Every structure is written in structure tokens, then in C-alpha cells.
Amino acid sequence: MKTIRLRAGKERSLQRRHPWIFESAIAKGSGDSGETVRVESDSGAFLGWAAFSPTSKIRARVWSFDEAQRIDASFFVAAVAASTRARGRFDIQSDGLRLVHGESDGLPGLIVDRYGDTLVAQFLSSGAERWKDVLADALLAQTGLTKLYERSDASSRALEGLPEIKGWLRGGDANAPTDLVLREHDWQLGLSIADGHKTGFYLDQRDSRKKFADYAQRLGFQRVLNCFCYTGGFTVAALAGLQAGGFTGGHVTSIDSSGAALEQARANVALNGLDVAQTTFMDADVNASLRQFLNEGRTFDAIVLDPPKFAPTVAHAERAARAYKDINRLALKLLEPGGVLFTYSCSGGISADLFHKIVAGAGSDAGVDGFITERMGGAPDHPMTIAFPEGEYLKGLVVMRK
């Protein structure tokens, strides 16, 4: 068994059960890609069993902090079982759910989403890659399913020295469908596990989409703007909410820079028996569109801002903060008094506190005040844990303009 020894003082985060060991924390020792290594403090005390990653800045990720734990197939079977059991206790109104959420489930680098009878996995660290077969078998055994599609085509794989891989890992053949339909709340949403973003869909916004539908149903928005709409989840939510509230004549404008996503979004409106005539889909840049609407004097009763990750890490936070502030300022200006803004950041590098400050700054620049009526986070199957605060990547505010 290989050992890595940390520099003095670098044991503290591990003692708090934080699983990352940065390159700069290591005094000596190494391993092969994904190999299990023993991690010791400067004084030789056991800290954890970790997967080594020779090229990544995160040089090792801890599997277990228990010295008696063996890192073998049964360890991964038990971890997958624990993760699956936890989902049984969370409130998830969908047949699409995140089964394994990396570090938060004790499996750094592994993401697994379930869409009906199909699993989609991303193996994003050397350790997850090393144990891929064991993990795949455990996932199928635990869920009783037969099909697992691999979406290890994320650019972060390069940091781990791993190639991008995409395709059926288990069960699928050439004819197995990769265009699926999931049921979320009372609606159906089509997605592509082969070509969609991440594993195909943003399951983490499930509760926010429901909240948006509830607001539409209660307040009867007439003009809705869904920015960064992807496959139209918030668009369907708005229209379904309006329908449930007995409101007619509302209109939803949805913007995204991906033509394929917009096509899926339009199909999703039709799939739910909602009226496509009540929608406009724009293949455009959100920032430019918001400026254009402002120039045209257009206003909205509800706006969703759900941009991509502007700040993957804290190092990018400052530039990202300016970008967030800019779109929020424009959106607040476009909002009617009494209108609501659902605004999000999915950047790990932007804390909830900082995001609140950014939106406050945007309001002050726009000369607009508002009531913060909700604070939102990721859905419960994208959990954060006490030991891993980085798990809180998605945060949102609902602001009702005064």
C-alpha cells in the first residue's frame, strides 16, 4: 500500500472530513491514477484512504476516514446502497432523480442520474474511473435496472488525465433510445441523454420549477421571460401554472443560445398539451436580448435568470460577480412593479451570501427595490453535507419588485 504524507498543518481539513487533498498539501508520496493510497499527517497519523490522481490539482480524494475500512468492491456496493437509500427518504416528485452526487454521497467524482429505467453516469475523477466496473454493477444491482449510459465527456476529465468517453456502458444496444421523457411534478419533459448538457437535464432545478408554476398559478403572469431556458422546464412550468390557475392569454418568451435545446423546449410545450402559440423561442444571447428589450420599452411580470456557471471556483468569483450583477440589473429594470424575478447562480465559487450581495447591488444600480420572498437551493437529491460546504453550488432568490 502506497502512502502519501501531508505537510504540517495540512491535516486539518481532513480531520473535519473534507475529502480533498490539494497538490500543495502533499510533502511526499504518490500513486498511480486512481490507486488507493494511505494518507498520513506530518507526524504519521492515519487520516484517510484516498484515490490518487497524478495530474489533478486535487491530487487525492478520500474514500474513507476509517482506518479499518478496506477500499474494495464491497465498500463501493455499500456506498451506492447508502446513496440509493437516502433518495428513498427525500421528497422527489419526479421519476428523474440524482442517485449519486459525488462528494456529498461519499463518492468523489461520481455523478449518477436516473431517468425512468435508464441510468446516466459521469466518472469524473481518477478514482471513480478506476472503480467504474464495480460501480456500474453496483448501481444496476441496487436499482434493479439494466441500462447505464456513460457521459464521461465533461471537459474536467482532462484535468484528471482521462479521455472523454460517451456511450452505453451497460445494457444498451445500438437501438436503445437515448431520447427519453421524464415525468416531473405533473408534467412531462423530453431530453437527450446522448446530446443534452451534463447527463441530459438540470434535475437540480426541480423544486424551483415547481415554485415558479405555483407563483404563475397564484399571480397569473401575463408576460413571462425565461432566460437561459435550456429545454424549457421553466417555460412548461409557467404555462402549466397559468392553466391550473385558470388564466388565459399569458405569453412566455424563452431565450437560449443552443438551437437544439430550443427545439426540445418547443417540443416539451406541445408534449404537455400546452399552447405553443403562447410562446416565443429566441436563439439569442441573453445579455444582448435584455438590453434590446430595455431599448424597446418592453416589461415582464415574471423573469427567470438561470445562467450557466460563471464562476467554477472562487478564483473566477470577481469577474463572475460583475456578469451576474449585470444581468440581474437589466432583469430588475424589465420587471413591472409587483412582478417577480427568479434569479440563480450555480457557481461553486459564489456563496449564497455573496450572491445576495450581488443581487442587492444590481437592485441599487437599477434603482429598484424588492421583497425577497424565497431563498432557493438545489433539489434534495443534490444534497450538501456538513463536511463538504462546496456541495452548495446552486442558490437562488425570488425577488418581488416593490
Shortest Cβ 304–ligand SAH spacing (Å): 7
Least Å distance, CB 228 to ligand SAH, is 3
- Does residue 152 sit in helix, strand or coil? strand
Closest CA to 114 of 92, 91, 82, 134: 92
Q: Which is nearer to ligand SAH, 49 or 281 (CB)?
A: 281
Residue selected from 255, 320, 354, 376 as contacting ligand SAH according to rule CB under 6 A = 255
Binds ligand SAH (CB under 6 A): choice among 20, 52, 65, 202: 202
- Which set of grid coordinates corresponds to residue 362? 444590481
Q: Would you tell me how many other CB atoms lie within 10 Å of the CB of residue 24?
A: 9
The angle subtended at Cα 236 by Cα 230 and Cα 237, nearest 5°, is 105
The yes or no reply on residue 393 touching ligand SAH (CB under 6 A) is no
> Which of 35, 113, 150, 306 is in the footprint of ligand SAH by CB under 6 A?
306
**Do 375 and 344 form a contact (C-beta atoms < 8 A)?**
no
What is the closest distance, in whole angstroms, from the C-beta atom of residue 197 to ligand SAH in the complex? 6
The cell numbers describing 197, all together, are: 448538457
Tell me if 203 contacts ligand SAH by CB under 6 A: no
Question: Minimum Å distance from CB 135 to ligand SAH?
Answer: 26
All three cell numbers of 246: 385558470
| Residue 205 near ligand SAH by CB under 6 A | yes
Alpha-carbon span 121 to 113, nearest angstrom: 6
CB of 6 to ligand SAH, least distance (A): 38
Minimum gap (Å) between residue 237 Cβ and ligand SAH:
8
Per-residue binding string, ligand SAH, 263-302, x by CB under 6 A, is ----------------------xx----------------
Residues in contact with ligand SAH, counted by CB under 6 A, come to a total of 17
Cα(177)–Cα(107) distance, integer angstroms: 28
Nine cell digits for residue 8? 504540517
Backbone torsion region of residue 249, taken as left when φ is above 0, otherwise alpha when ψ lies between -120 and 50, otherwise beta: left
Smallest separation (angstroms) from ligand SAH to the CB of 204: 9
> Does 20 contact ligand SAH by CB under 6 A?
no
Backbone dihedral angles phi then psi of residue 144, each to the nearest 5 degrees: 75, 15
Q: Is 234 in the site for ligand SAH (CB under 6 A)?
A: yes
Among 74, 257, 292, 373, binds ligand SAH (CB under 6 A): 257
Scan for cell 424549457, then name that residue. Answer: 232
Nearer to ligand SAH, 197 or 357 (CB): 197
Q: Which residue in 212, 221, 230, 310 binds ligand SAH (CB under 6 A)?
A: 230
Coil vs helix vs strand at 112: strand
Provide, rounded to whole angstroms, the least separation between the CB of residue 322 and ligand SAH. 15
Least gap, CB of 202 to ligand SAH (angstroms): 4
Q: How many secondary structure helices (H) and strands (E) does the chain include? A: 10, 20
Contact between 143 and 51 under an 8 Å Cβ cutoff? The reply is no
Rank residues 219 and 255 by Cβ distance to ligand SAH and give the closer one: 255
What spatial distance separates the first Cα and last Cα of the chain, rounded to whole Å? 63
Q: By CB under 6 A, is residue 258 in contact with ligand SAH?
A: yes
Asked whether 94 and 182 are in contact (CB, 8 A), the reply is yes
Q: Is 129 helix (H, G, I), strand (E, B) or coil?
A: helix
Among 228, 300, 310, 355, binds ligand SAH (CB under 6 A): 228
Q: Which is nearer to ligand SAH, 53 or 205 (CB)?
A: 205
Which string of DSSP letters, residue by residue, matches 228-286?
S-TTTHHHHHHHHHHHHTT--S-EEEEEES-HHHHHHHHHHHHHTT--GGGEEEEES-H
Element (H, E) at 100: strand 96-101
Binding span for ligand SAH by CB under 6 A among 31-39, 83-91, 226-234, 330-338: 226-234
| Part in contact with ligand SAH (CB under 6 A); list of ranges 58-66, 77-85, 224-232, 380-388 | 224-232
Q: Rule CB under 6 A: is residue 128 a binding residue for ligand SAH? A: no
Site string for ligand SAH, 70-109 (x = CB under 6 A): ----------------------------------------
Alpha-carbon gap, residue 217 to 241, rounded angstroms: 4
Residues lying near ligand SAH in the complex (CB under 6 A):
202, 205, 228-231, 233-234, 255-258, 261, 285-286, 306, 308
